[in-house]
Amino acid sequence: MTRTNTGGIWPWLGLAALLVVADQAIKVLILANYELGESTTITSFFNVVRVHNTGAAFSFLADAGGWQRWFFTAVGAAAAVFIVWMLRSNPGQKLFAFALACILGGAIGNVVDRLLHGYVVDWLDFHWDFLGGLFPGGHFPAFNIADMAITVGAMALILDEVLRVRRNR
């Protein structure tokens, strides 16, 4: 299937910007109202918490000594540049562009944190007893809106590829 440029890049950049603004606005509220490690119980399985993640997903390399801040910042910035280039090339392929915009917004949201604070502010804490064998106390690693945007974008990329393969059969 041919990829077209109908619609342009601006709606997708707008979606990415909206995700960055929402992510950063909530992180400002968390930083202003919670001390590190402080949490509020919302339900039996969800807390709002203030966590600082100096690593990547699941705190990968969090204890690496500090170099990872700049490494993950560079990776996020490079990913953002590549994604904008991909969006310019494929803005009319809606699901693909949606996926890229979500990943872009999430990447920028976390890069902003690394540049401003030296860590990513995470605040969504879900926990269930059945996760106890995988995570301490059954708490899934805390995350934020940027992380959700990246996850939704990755799932949309997978769906886009599955649909593309099915169309080409």
Per-residue model confidence (pLDDT) at position 56? 63
Residue 2 lies in a domain: no
Least confident of 57-61, 64-68, 136-140: 57-61
Beta-strand relationship, 39-43 and 46-53? antiparallel
Band the pLDDT of 58: cuts 50, 70, 90. Answer: low
Per-residue model confidence (pLDDT) at position 1? 42
CA distances to 84, 98, 142, 159 from 156, rounded to whole Å, are: 17, 8, 22, 5
Residue 108 lies in a domain: yes
Residue 162 lies in a domain: yes
In contact, 140 and 127? CB cutoff 8 Å: yes
Mean pLDDT for the stretch of residues 51-78: 72
Nearest partner of 58 among 135, 141, 145, 127, judged by Cα: 141
Residue 4 lies in a domain: no
Residue 3 lies in a domain: no
Per-residue model confidence (pLDDT) at position 69? 67
Residue 65 domain boundaries:
10-167
Active-site annotation holds for 125? no
Residue 152 lies in a domain: yes
Q: Is the per-residue pLDDT at 2 higher than 60?
A: no
Tokens describing residue 24: 């950063």
Active-site annotation holds for 63? no
Catalytic residue among 113, 125, 147, 160: 147
Q: Is the per-residue pLDDT at 31 higher than 70?
A: yes
Per-residue model confidence (pLDDT) at position 86? 92
Question: Which position has the higher pLDDT, 28 or 92?
Answer: 28
Count of domains for the chain: 1
Catalytic residue among 23, 122, 125, 160: 122
Residue 1 lies in a domain: no
Residue 19 lies in a domain: yes
